[in-house]
């Protein structure tokens, strides 16, 4: 009976949220598509493969808040970093 309760309660809550709460047991069960970043430089545009700059892309980490500034540091002649829903102007741009 105890095992049944342990399984039933979490299973009954599975569909209650659009996104799993941080540090919840179902935190890694949601899959969302990572944003695609593009670094714009004076002479070219470079699409970024997240696997080259981020170890283990996870759904609960805010890449949009953290990665654009880092990409500006990685590419000193970058003007801006863009993604589907926004853009970040580099300090040097």
CA-based nearest residue to 3, from 23, 11, 17: 11
20 shares a domain with 5: yes
45 shares a domain with 16: no
pLDDT of amino acid 18: 59
Q: Which residues contact 10 (CB under 8 A, 6 or more apart)?
A: 25, 26
Question: 7: which 2 tokens?
Answer: 């399984």
Confidence of residue 72 (pLDDT cuts 50, 70, 90): very high
75 shares a domain with 47: yes
77 shares a domain with 41: yes
Report field, pTM of the whole predicted structure over 0.85:
no
Q: Is the pLDDT of residue 9 over 60?
A: yes
| Mean pLDDT, range 2-8, rounded to an integer | 86
35 shares a domain with 20: no
Domain carrying residue 65: 31-93
66 shares a domain with 50: yes
Confidence of residue 5 (pLDDT cuts 50, 70, 90): confident
67 shares a domain with 38: yes
Domain count, the chain: 2
């Amino acid at each position: 009976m105890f095992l049944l309760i342990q399984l039933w309660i979490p299973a009954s809550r599975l569909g209650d949220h659009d996104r799993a709460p941080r540090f919840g047991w179902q935190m890694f069960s949601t899959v969302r598509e990572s944003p695609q970043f593009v670094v714009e430089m004076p002479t070219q545009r470079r699409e970024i493969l997240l696997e080259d700059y981020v170890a283990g892309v996870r759904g609960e980490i805010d890449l949009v808040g953290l990665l654009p500034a880092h990409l500006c540091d990685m590419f000193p002649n970058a003007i801006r970093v863009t993604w589907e829903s926004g853009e970040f102007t580099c300090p040097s741009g």
